Structure 1
Amino acid sequence: MTEARANMGRAQRFFVLVIALLFAVVSHPAHSADRTLRLFFWQAPSILNPHLAPGVKDQTASRVVYEPLASFDAEGHLVPFLAEEIPSLTNGQVAGDGRSVTWKLKPNVKWSDGVPFTAKDVVFTYAYITNPDVGSSSIGTYKSVDKVEALDDLTVKVTFKDVDPAWALPFVGIQGTILPEHIFAPYNNKAAVNAPPNLAPVGTGPYRLKEFRTEDVLLIGDDVVNTVKIIYEPNPEYRDRARLGFDEVTLQGGGDAKTAAKAVLGTGVVDYAWNLQIGDAELQELEAKQIGKVALYFSSYVERLMLNFTDPNRETSDGERASLQFPNPILADAKVRLALAKAVDRNKIAALYGRTGRPTANLLVAPVLYNSPNTTWEFDPDKARALLDEAGWRDTNGDGIRDRNGVPLTLLFQTSVNPVRQKTQAIIGADLAAIGIRVEDKQIDSSVFFSPSPDILNTSQHFYADLEEFATGNKSPDPGSYMVKWTCAQAAQKSNNWSGLNESRYCSDKYDALFHASETEIDPEKRIGLFVAMNDLLIAHSAVIPIVEWANVPGLRNDIVGFNPTPWDSETWNIADWRRKP
């Protein structure tokens, strides 16, 4: 009976495989494997509108089609896409008073449906992103903008509300991609989220959408993986079509990180795989097959231990927890926070990441000019114990847990469900137990922990715990929109529907003064100094404990060249340059 069932299972898998392969052959008879670029995401993209994208996977899939005026390369230099040239003080396109910038656009650019691209599309994109009914995820980049004007078909002027040293953020990078007015104008309203163009994009980029399949399969070794499949073809209106390396690009989404790693490194059935979040030992074992390689690069992301400055257990009269009215009874003490910083073994945690992580003392690590040379970290449990003694936390009953006024020193530590993070919780729990602190762990599904919904309680924004762990970083070389999250006004609270960026509710007048000075400082060196000072203040206050600087971990087949990732845009930003070696 068991053998019969096994045979039946094999037959069913074979039937599914045959149907899938026949479908692939019938659908794409004209393209050889060498002329098809195969991308794989273990989280399936659900939308192809970069300004409504819920995650990096959706932005990366959208970037194949859409382009910004310019983008930043890995060194932080601006590279023109739809712009004819990069504005500067020298060419007069950046105003001397820092209140406006003028962009000259490339002539003769067309959308993939043949309609001319003009400055009116840039003006429309601004109106769309900043329309509250649309609910764009890109809106933060445009908060400093007062107005956007089309001076003529090929000239756009952006005027800011005040002096803006970060003039190069609007219309730059993934959050600067331009949408066609003639396609999206009917959906510049509450209908935006369900607009048909979200799954049928019309762009100026090197490839255009051919088909979006919500159900497909991918064969990886003996495994059949259910996927979403997006098929692109060369954009016939692209200004430099002759240099494109492929006749077709396919993007499949599904499975998990191990599946993706096996697909690109172990079997080579795909050419690129996104975000290979598995152990480095497993990656190296797959790389030994010499089919593919890990193309890791460090960016701005830092895995950090966040400390809650408010009391997650006490409620206000109207039922608000973690309110600014009630400081955290343990972590409001700077000595306790410093003790935690000295008790965490960052080298041991970094070892979990292998090549893909390195310990750091800084919260702001990129670009390199902002990575402070003034900070250090040390693993010193004895100093941590002494600090807790000074703070009045002692083990008075011999149970191994410190207490004060009869209250044991216990901290609740939450993070998302992730194998590396659970191992990190175990390391930190052991480190803190060694200095007399009991840690209670809580794991939350990623879809809940990172949910933007104010109605879901177990999120990083509500932060109903003492400690939480996640990674984030600045999305552009200008760290203003990243460092603003530590200002007092950004505290996530019930009054702002938990939309504030400051999850820990840290507040410092000195920090706020540094940040506000950065908003109008147009001297680049002085501005760098202000951001370094902000980072140093956070570390000095032990407001947060940076743990590991993350590397991005895409995988590539060995015969793919031209992949040149930047931390400041999607990994497909230069897909027009990708080629397959003969």
Structure 2
Amino acid sequence: MIKYIRWQATIAFLGMILIVAVLGYLAFSFTTVIVPDVGGTYVEGLAGNPKYINPILCQYNDVDRDLCALIFNGLTDANEKGEIVPDLATHWEVSDDGLTYTFHLRRDVRWHDGAAFTADDIVFTINSIRNPGFQGVPYLADLWRTVSVKRIDNYTVSFTLQEPFAPFIDYTTVGILPAHILQNIEAKALPQARFNTQPVGTGLFQVAELSARHIVLRANPHFYGARPYLSTVEFRFYPDYESIFGAYERGEIEGISRVLPEDLPKAREHQNLNLFSARLSGYTLILLNLNNPNTPFFQSKEVRQALLYALDRQKIIDQILDGQGIVVHSPIMPDSWAYYQNIKKYGYDPAQAQALLDQAGWVDSDGDGIREKEGIKLEFGLLTNDDPTRVEIVEEITRQWAAVGVKAVPQTSGVAGLVRDFLRPRRYDAILTQWQEFPPDPDPYPLWHSTQGQGEGQNYTGFANREADQIMEEARRTTDQTRRMELYHRFQQIFADEMPALLLYHPVYSYAIDKRVKGVQIAPMIDPSDRFRTITDWYVLTRRVILSEAQRQSGK
């Protein structure tokens, strides 16, 4: 009997211990949370190989631009709204005459090799671009050769312009090179420098290993800004985007740097893939040659407006692009600080298109399905490159225009010859083309000012409007962003009324990342490399912490 009582007491005691343990576990569970932890590796597939991991030479290669975005920094950076914000510089001042910009540099920046970052690096980089032997993109050299750079002290540098130019600040986003490594290499020899495959930057990540197969980046222990959770990022190189998708299915990578429209259905079927899409800077449009004597009808804004009303742009996006596009309403990007929200929008309205053409005197008097006026048929060539998707879009556009009595004859050319043989000599009727990767500053001068309507200028339509010209000129001179916004709002109103070109759609960039990788976010992108804008928030490891600690870590 005594043994039985003792046995009951033992069971009761053990039960109490178990209850306390369970209650303690539950209390711990309900007062702790899962948070990101530092460490781990993210692996992504890229199409192609690096050539110049150098911020002043990387503009021609997508892989180079992706890597430079993580390895280098500029004096400034552009946020998702296209606003220029400090990066290697803490702040800057602009002289009253708008000619001199003085930048004050951070004092806590070190290169990946531990050397201090100073004004000497700024001066070296800009002088390399200014040098006649510079081998990079012409637009960088064209701007910087009109600017003088001066070292004030170790942490102050100034730039002096020949005339006021508000978009100048955009150019200060260019990545900076280390003078202490490259100062003895001439600009013309930079493409051959070993540095291009053994880069040293100031960025979030630094190169740990590079081979023909992959590159491994390690988190920069000297980085001055927010540190990433990821300790390593590996990029593996593949011949094309189709190969990248296959690599994911074989378990070789976690990130697909670009999902092509034809692969979207397959990507959506993968339960472990998160698919991200974002609008890219730029748009596809139809340029109308306003000065071609063979197409006098393009000089009528009623005809131009009618042509846009007659286009079902959303149908083109949905049926041909698999939804990978966003209808355009303005020549200025929607996420820009200068975008005019109340701009006139042309929806698909074939009845309105026909009414405008009737009012302008273009009628089908002989019943052949083509409108005419004073013996001239409303008929013209619609040229594009030989890309199958572009050809399909042109064919759909011709069908939609035919429904309102306009005949467009599809024409094709090789990609290389489109600018050389047709756009630059202004030898075309209408062209379906694409402008992409606009800089953050919304300056429309290069594309729409009348002085750019000949020769090397990119105003290929020949659009000329005195008020629009004056607006673009003043907006370039003033550094007052509020005033520039007012001017660009008025410019967009003029553009929407005149419609010198038919804006179709913004491209959409899609990429996919395995669900194991958390914290990935997306925003409008100027360049595909902007997908790494939030990489400091990405993580693959987690840990459990007490709620109060998590709140402290999140700043709550």
> Under TM normalisation by the shorter chain, which class is it?
0.7 to 0.9
Matched, 1:60 2:61: no
Q: Give the SS at the match of 2:298.
A: coil
Q: Give the SS at the match of 1:86.
A: strand
Indicate conservation of the 8 Å contact 1:100/1:160, yes or no: yes
Matched, 1:524 2:484: no
Q: Give the SS at the match of 1:296.
A: strand
Match of 2:136 in 1: 136
TM-score w.r.t. the length of structure 1 is 0.75
In 2, the alpha carbon distance for the partners of 1:95 and 1:549 equals: 37
Match of 2:5 in 1: none
Letter in 1 for 2:435: T
Indicate conservation of the 8 Å contact 1:273/1:554, yes or no: yes
Matched, 1:169 2:133: no
Indicate conservation of the 8 Å contact 2:219/2:228, yes or no: no
Matched, 1:415 2:398: no
Distance 1:76 1:334, change over 3 A: closer
Deviation at 1:445, TM superposition (A): 4.8
Distance 1:135 1:331, change over 3 A: farther
1:277 to 260, 266, 269: 260
Indicate conservation of the 8 Å contact 2:98/2:479, yes or no: yes
Cα deviation digits, residues 297-325 of structure 1 (max 9, x gap): 235432222212243xxxxxxxxxxxxxx
In 1, the alpha carbon distance for the partners of 2:309 and 2:417 equals: 27
Distance 1:195 1:45, change over 3 A: same
More helix by share: 2
Distance 1:194 1:393, change over 3 A: farther
Distance 1:186 1:399, change over 3 A: farther
Deviation at 1:515, TM superposition (A): 0.3
Letter in 2 for 1:331: F
Deviation at 1:162, TM superposition (A): 3.5
In 1, the alpha carbon distance for the partners of 2:505 and 2:322 equals: 11
Distance 1:289 1:484, change over 3 A: same
Distance 1:410 1:573, change over 3 A: same
In 1, the alpha carbon distance for the partners of 2:49 and 2:425 equals: 27
1:249 to 234, 249, 256: 234
Match of 1:147 in 2: 148
Deviation at 1:195, TM superposition (A): 4.1
In 1, the alpha carbon distance for the partners of 2:73 and 2:244 equals: 27
In 1, the alpha carbon distance for the partners of 2:259 and 2:425 equals: 29
Q: Give the SS at the match of 1:249.
A: strand
Letter in 2 for 1:250: F
More RCO (CA 8 Å, sep 6+): 2
Match of 2:44 in 1: 39
Matched, 1:365 2:333: yes
Structure with bigger gyration radius:
2
Indicate conservation of the 8 Å contact 1:141/1:170, yes or no: no
Indicate conservation of the 8 Å contact 1:305/1:546, yes or no: yes
1:441-520 → structure 2 map (5 Å cutoff): 441-446=410-415, 448=416, 456-457=420-421, 461-462=424-425, 464-472=427-435, 475-480=438-443, 482-493=444-455, 499-520=456-477
Deviation at 1:529, TM superposition (A): 1.6
1:43-442 → structure 2 map (5 Å cutoff): 44-52=49-57, 53-76=59-82, 78-83=84-89, 85-87=90-92, 93-137=93-137, 138-139=139-140, 142=143, 146-166=147-167, 168-172=169-173, 176-214=174-212, 216=213, 229-235=214-220, 238-239=223-224, 243=228, 245-256=230-241, 258-261=242-245, 263=247, 269-279=252-262, 282-311=263-292, 328-352=295-319, 353=321, 356-372=324-340, 373-395=342-364, 397-403=366-372, 408-442=377-411
Deviation at 1:157, TM superposition (A): 1.9
Distance 1:238 1:541, change over 3 A: same
Cα deviation digits, residues 399-458 of structure 1 (max 9, x gap): 333445655433222234445433322221101111222222234454x2677xxxx436
Distance 1:462 1:260, change over 3 A: farther
Indicate conservation of the 8 Å contact 2:452/2:459, yes or no: yes
Deviation at 1:289, TM superposition (A): 1.9
In 1, the alpha carbon distance for the partners of 2:307 and 2:442 equals: 27
Distance 1:132 1:397, change over 3 A: farther
Deviation at 1:485, TM superposition (A): 1.6
Distance 1:242 1:277, change over 3 A: closer
Letter in 1 for 2:317: A
Letter in 2 for 1:152: D
* Count of residue correspondences: 497
Cα deviation digits, residues 258-296 of structure 1 (max 9, x gap): 4445555x56532333342315xx525423322222222
Cα deviation digits, residues 159-191 of structure 1 (max 9, x gap): 33344444532322xxx1111234444554444
In 1, the alpha carbon distance for the partners of 2:226 and 2:339 equals: 40
Q: Percentage identity across aligned positions?
A: 23
Match of 2:554 in 1: none
Q: Give the SS at the match of 2:421.
A: coil
Cα deviation digits, residues 188-244 of structure 1 (max 9, x gap): 444444444334322122333355545x4xxxxxxxxxxxx4443445654579755
In 2, the alpha carbon distance for the partners of 1:369 and 1:243 equals: 29
Deviation at 1:486, TM superposition (A): 0.6
